[in-house]
Structure 1
Amino acid sequence: MSSIKKIEFVLNKTPVIIEVPPAKPLARILRYDLGIKSVKIGCEEGGCGACTVLLDGKPVPSCLVIASQINGREIITLEGLVQDPLMQKIQEYFIKENAFQCGFCTPGFLVTIWAYIKHWSSIKNIFKDGDEKEIFTKSLEYFLSGNLCRCGTYFRIAKVIQLILREFNLIK
């Protein structure tokens, strides 16, 4: 039987102390212990992105992070971003462009896209070979590779990101 450990972390800007087995997946802690509904339990292997959260500002599949790895760290879920102006813009464009179908993958995509746009200037410097369109395409493929949409709305999602980057004058 696994021992129970006290874990302290910050969730959506609120300090949390919880006692859980140290090997319990973060996705299960967030969804079942803390009631965070945007975190979906999908493949539980890190391949679908339905459980994506920001861990210290970086998107990660929370099914691959265990309780002992979150002690003292900051976790942001979609619930923690809903008041953010960029997230509101992303959601607005998702609706306008009909970039979701069933919605199961949407929270993970929204969190990942928020991080992608927020860190665009750093991302485009990593993918600096090629013209702007190539940089956008290569970086988007890489950045969204951890998110799976069974309904196939990738082109609409890419369009949403492109429209927002254009609106903020980050690309032409």
Structure 2
Amino acid sequence: MATHSYTSRRELEQHSFPPAVTLLVPLAAIVLQALLPKPIPRLAILDLPLIVTLFFAVSRRNPVAGTLTGAAIGLLQDVLTAQPVGVNGMAKSVIGYIAASIGVQVDVENITTRIVINFGFSLLNSMLLFLINRRLLGLPDFHILWLHELVRAVVNTVVAIPIFLLLDRFKRTE
């Protein structure tokens, strides 16, 4: 007896990227994240490495690749910023894993889905960073301003959508 799947082929496609894109885009995001807030402090609200982690994780739709991508991007971000090494690595590893797992189940090419994913994962990233700093590192003076984190999530989402559309041009179907 034949079985029918209600999942479209588009939802199951895993994408790969040219090696130059795979290396240069995350590296550019990390360098910009480290350099831009110095002359323009307001740009510290952006989290470009998070946006890039989300894009590659949902595009590849492979939880292991999403975890490793998040770990690599997060650790490099830690090295270039004032965070203790491993804080962003842990947070972005978790986000890469969850985002890739969601990418397997949901059509992440849809603009509405991308907005929800970016907004939600930006808030999750803030919560993970809070928990890591507060619970794992034991920093009792580490506080979070939730209104600021909501604004950060909105700003990151607004910036992420054009970045996602730009990076879509480099996708190759496996």
Higher relative contact order (CA 8 A, sep 6+): 2
TM beyond 0.5: no
TM-score by length of 2: 0.32
Name the structure with the higher strand share: 1
Name the structure with the higher helix share: 2
TM-score by length of 1: 0.33
